[in-house]
């Protein structure tokens, strides 16, 4: 649902007095809830949702408050999805800095990582949200011939010839790599004339998104993963604008997540179901990696192009890749210091 539609709904609601009613109700209950949270938190489901509205930032919550918030969510999700849903608060493991390495000479562009991510992280199926984009790039084609070098544009023009371009060729570049796009749909991958470049949140050390967030709803966890407190996010989309990697996705509509597709193992800062009007993005599968498992995209990749591990452990796969392979980081010039490395054999 778009912002406009939302506004319209509210406007229409006000016409028949319904929204006014609920706003008054809301304020009334607000008072009740304030009392309720101090006396008996989460006494009822309704009080729960108000308590949720009054909830503070996850990092500022006391252990008790966290426990209550999580109990509220578990109850609500369990009812909503008709199955037992757990919302974990597993702490970040000590002495770990998570890093990711992706072998672009191996990636075949099959998009299994994208689909695995959707299944693991409870993204909305409609409107469909995907955290990973696989870019397809043409291989360089060396069709350029030396004799064309000085035949560049503007060559001739109805208004007169203003000279040829020298030392270059505006229309046709040497070994031109053409377009980059992500809607490709061939019968089979890999295609002979393409390479593939998956992009997702790079878990920056110095994240532009965190700096842009006016309410600090998004922040770095102790393992270097940038997370979002969905309850604290105000949906202003500043972070989306700031991110140089197109990593963030906004819930424009009420997310649709079929019951049987819902992954009931969730984490508060990870894959718990989101609501309309909040931002979301890759968290390296926080709910998995804090429990010791590889992220879902690592496990899905049929060619083993995706590697994950602890950057502080010299024996880890990622560290060995950094030590022995040709490694680069995407858009390094933005100085966000990503923890996501691309490499080649």
Partner 1 sequence: MISARKYVRAAIFFGLFALVTGGLLFQQMPEEAVAQDAAQDDSGSAAVQEAAPDATPATSNAASVECYESIKDATKLPKVDNVVPKYGYPNVKCSPTTGAVLWYGDPYYGTEPMGEMPKFNDKTDGDFAQAVIRPRVEHLKTLIQTNMQCSSCHPGADPATQQNDPRQLMMHQDIIADAQNLQHGRGAIWCFDCHNAANRDTLADQQGNEVSFNESQKVCGSCHGDIYSDWRMGLHGKRTGEWKVGGKKRWWTCTECHNPHTVQEHRFQPIKPEPPPALPRGMSEDDFKGADEHGGH
Q: Residue 196 forms beta bridges with which residues?
A: 136
Asked whether position 205 contacts partner 1 by CB under 8 A, the answer is no
For residue 334 the two structure tokens come to 């933005």
**Going by DSSP bridges, is the β-strand pair 86-88/265-267 parallel, antiparallel, or unpaired?**
parallel
Asked whether position 167 contacts partner 1 by CB under 8 A, the answer is no
Region of 11-19, 123-131, 148-156, 243-251 interacting with ligand SF4 (CB under 6 A): 243-251
Q: CA angle at residue 247 from 271 to 139, to 5 degrees?
A: 125
User: Could you give the string, one character per residue 250-269, with x where binding to partner 1 holds by CB under 8 A and - elsewhere?
Assistant: ----x-xxxxxx-xxx----
Asked whether position 66 contacts partner 1 by CB under 8 A, the answer is no
332 touches which of partner 1, ligand SF4, none (CB within 5 to 8 A by kind)? none
Counting every residue, how long is the chain? 345
**Alpha-carbon gap, residue 265 to 84, rounded angstroms:** 9
For residue 324 the two structure tokens come to 């022995």
207 touches which of ligand SF4, partner 1, none (CB within 5 to 8 A by kind)? ligand SF4
- How many of the chain's residues bind ligand SF4 (CB under 6 A)? 29
Residue 209: C-alpha distances to residues 4, 159, 243, 249, 266 (Å)? 25, 49, 5, 12, 23
**Alpha-carbon gap, residue 65 to 333, rounded angstroms:** 41
SS3 92: coil
Residue choice 208, 227, 238, 311 for contact with ligand SF4 (CB under 6 A):
208
Asked whether position 10 contacts partner 1 by CB under 8 A, the answer is yes
Q: Residue 155 forms beta bridges with which residues?
A: none
What is the 8-class DSSP label of residue 334? G
Q: Interaction with partner 1 in 208-247: which residues (CB under 8 A)? A: 214-215, 234-236
Asked whether position 232 contacts ligand SF4 by CB under 6 A, the answer is no
Asked whether position 306 contacts ligand SF4 by CB under 6 A, the answer is yes
Residue choice 33, 118, 194, 243 for contact with ligand SF4 (CB under 6 A):
243
Asked whether position 140 contacts partner 1 by CB under 8 A, the answer is no
Q: Interaction with partner 1 in 36-55: which residues (CB under 8 A)? A: 45-46, 49-50, 53
Element (H, E) at 266: strand 265-267
Q: Which residues sit at the interface with ligand SF4, rule CB under 6 A?
A: 107-113, 134, 196, 198, 201-204, 207-209, 226, 243, 245, 247-248, 281, 300-301, 303, 305-306, 336
């Amino acid at each position: 649902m778009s912002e406009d539609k939302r506004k319209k709904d509210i406007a229409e609601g006000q016409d028949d007095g319904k929204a006014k009613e609920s706003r008054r109700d809301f304020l009334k209950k607000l008072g009740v809830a304030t009392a309720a949270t101090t006396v008996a938190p989460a006494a009822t489901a309704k009080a729960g949702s108000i308590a949720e509205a009054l909830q503070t930032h996850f990092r500022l919550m006391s252990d008790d408050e966290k426990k209550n918030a999580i109990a509220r969510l578990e109850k609500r999700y369990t009812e909503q999805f008709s199955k037992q849903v757990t919302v974990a608060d597993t702490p970040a493991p000590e002495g770990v800095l998570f890093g990711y390495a992706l072998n672009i000479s191996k990636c075949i562009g099959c998009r299994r990582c994208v689909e695995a991510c959707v299944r693991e992280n409870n993204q909305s199926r409609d409107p469909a949200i995907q955290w990973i984009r696989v870019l397809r790039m043409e291989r360089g084609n060396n069709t350029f011939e030396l004799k064309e070098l000085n035949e560049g544009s503007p060559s001739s023009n109805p208004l007169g010839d203003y000279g040829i371009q020298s030392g270059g060729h505006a229309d046709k570049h040497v070994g031109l790599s053409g377009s980059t796009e992500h809607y490709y749909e061939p019968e089979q991958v890999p295609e002979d004339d393409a390479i593939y470049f998956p992009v997702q949140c790079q878990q920056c050390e110095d994240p532009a998104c965190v700096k842009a967030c006016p309410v600090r709803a998004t922040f770095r966890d102790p393992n270097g993963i940038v997370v979002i407190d969905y309850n604290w996010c105000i949906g202003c989309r500043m972070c989306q604008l700031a991110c140089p990697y197109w990593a963030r996705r906004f819930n424009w509509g009420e997310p649709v997540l079929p019951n049987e597709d819902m992954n009931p193992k969730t984490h508060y800062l990870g894959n718990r179901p989101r609501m309309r009007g909040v931002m979301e993005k890759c968290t390296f599968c926080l709910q998995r990696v804090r429990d010791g498992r590889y992220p879902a995209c690592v496990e899905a990749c049929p060619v083993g192009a995706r590697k994950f591990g602890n950057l502080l452990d010299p024996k880890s796969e990622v560290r060995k890749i950094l030590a022995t392979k040709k490694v680069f980081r995407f858009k390094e010039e933005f100085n966000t210091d990503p923890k996501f490395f691309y490499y080649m054999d």
